[in-house]
Structure 1
Amino acid sequence: METPIQNKEIIFLLADDHSIVRQGMEIVISDIVPNAKVYQTSSLHQVLELIESKGIEMAVIDAHFPDGNSLHILPQMKNANPDLKILIFTGLEEELHGLKFIKAGADGYLSKLSEEEEVREAIATFIEKGEYFSDLLRNLLVQFVYNPDLISPLNSLTKREMQIAELYAEGYGNLEISNSLNIKQNTVSTIKKNIFEKLKIENMVELVDLVKTHHKL
């Protein structure tokens, strides 16, 4: 016996730079909603064009593409179609990145590390309810109400610490930062130590990743 969800005629967009991911997701969607119309793209720059020209109702989109990050276009996607439902399907850690995508306009967040059955259930929930939040993300959303810094750990840095973190991320060393900001090298080193302690990181690679992830997008 067919369920109401199986009878739906939904126009989907699958946006991911890996064709195997798009193909796998299309199989899952077609199993759940046989009448679905599915468009695919590997380019972030084509996403808005397809939403506007094809009447996309639901989008499953990766976080990172070779031509950019989807975070900054989520508001534009919603502007193009206010009723559009967006599910982020990514390998990025949900605990670190889920909240910022939801805040930017996504209606759900699903990890590519999920088991196949979990992916199928998440897609079915997304299609039926227009949203999907794992238990982890629901807990984070509750915590976010009491601690807005969860959305970006960089919010815990002072203005000067953020300035120096940005310079480190751009490849500057202690001496260059010292000369640029007209402060002593040992002051730069002290601030660097404070930054590492606040962000709970141990090396420059982690700092650069945090700045690029949370501040430069």
Structure 2
Amino acid sequence: MINKDNETLFFMLADDHTLIRQGMMFVLDATGIDYKAFHASNFEQIRDCINTHFINIAIIDAHFPEGTSLQIISEIKEKKPDIKILIFSGIDENVHALKYLNAGANGFLSKLSEEEEIKHAILTIIHKGEYISPLTRALLMNSLNNRNLVNPLQSLTERELEIARMYAAGYGNLEIANMLDVKQNTISTIKKRIFKKLKIENIVELIELVKNHS
């Protein structure tokens, strides 16, 4: 349990869309809790908020213009491990929830959720320190039999993983091809295969996956 004796709770609402943050405040008002909310619309503001203010719960979008929030989750947990993080996002929970939980989030909630479900998620985080939706709970159960759901890098072959790590280290197609003594178009083909297996679209996401799962 986060708060005792109805003490004021401090939230950080982090989303690059003002309307989403305002909407979350309406939901917080509806819960009847005593709270104060700080707003952040990008990674720099998130870091400033965490360093400047005491925060109980951070409600964070999964995607920002700077990239996914996987890295910022890890930073928050490293600096302030007691902060509870709820990912509130429009991305597919079935595909992405586990990697955010594995990065340190305490819950994952879809922006498609009804208001009552959002209120339930917030109150559950307050009282239990985590929120696991029925869908994510099923994913966690399935992950016991399929480790790729927890660590997507395990879906890669040894060579694909080697190349993924080289990309994450900052090497480009030509450099990797020269280092491995193969053709550049071979590396490009493997890169596409890596992206498809990991369900990612760019190098930034690959770097975050390698960092969080290696």
Which TM bucket (shorter chain)?
Answer: 0.7 to 0.9
Q: Tell me: CA distance 1:158–1:30, structure 2 relative to 1, closer, same or farther (3 Å).
A: same
1:19-30 paired onto structure 2 within 5 Å: 19-30=18-29
How far apart, CA to CA, are the structure 2 residues paired with 1:77 and 1:161?
Answer: 30
TM-score (norm 2): 0.76
Aligned residues: 206
Contact 1:6 1:32 in 2 (8 A): no
Within-5 A mapping of 1:138-157: 138-157=137-156
Q: Give the Å deviation of 1:168.
A: 9.7
Structure ID, larger Rg: 1
1:216 to partner: Cα distance: 7.2
Cα displacement (A) at 1:31: 1.7
The yes-or-no answer on 1:48 pairing with 2:75 is: no
Higher mean C-alpha displacement, 75-84 vs 89-98:
75-84
Q: Could you tell me how far apart the structure 1 residues matched to 2:79 and 2:211 are? A: 24
Q: Deviations over 1:67-114 (max 9, x none)?
A: 343211223212332221110111121122111111111110001122
TM-score by length of 1: 0.75
- TM-fit CA distance, 1:25: 0.3
Q: Is the 8 A contact 2:71 2:208 kept in 1?
A: no
In the TM superposition, what is the alpha-carbon distance from 1:180 to its structure 2 partner? Answer: 6.5
Structure 1 residue 34, shift from structure 2 partner: 4.1
Higher relative contact order (CA 8 A, sep 6+): 2
**Is the Cα–Cα contact under 8 Å of residues 153 and 198 in structure 2 kept in the other structure?**
no
Q: Which residue of 2 aligns with 1:17?
A: 16
| Aligned counterpart, 1:33 | 32
The equivalent residue for 2:111 is 112
Aligned mates of 2:204, 2:81 — CA distance in 1: 32
Which whole-Å deviations, capped at 9, do the CAs of 1:175-195 have from their partners, x for residues lacking one? x97667433689x39x75x94
Task: Structure 1 unaligned segments of length 5 or more: list them.
Answer: none
Q: CA deviation at 1:44?
A: 1.4
Deviates more, 1:39-48 or 1:120-129: 120-129
**Structure 2 CA distance for aligned equivalents of residues 153 and 30 of structure 1:** 38
Assess, with a 3 A threshold, how the Cα gap between structure 1 residues 82 and 207 changes in structure 2: closer, same or farther.
closer
CA spacing shift, 1:60–1:195, aligned 2, 3 Å: same
Residue matched to 2:125: 126
Identity in percent = 44
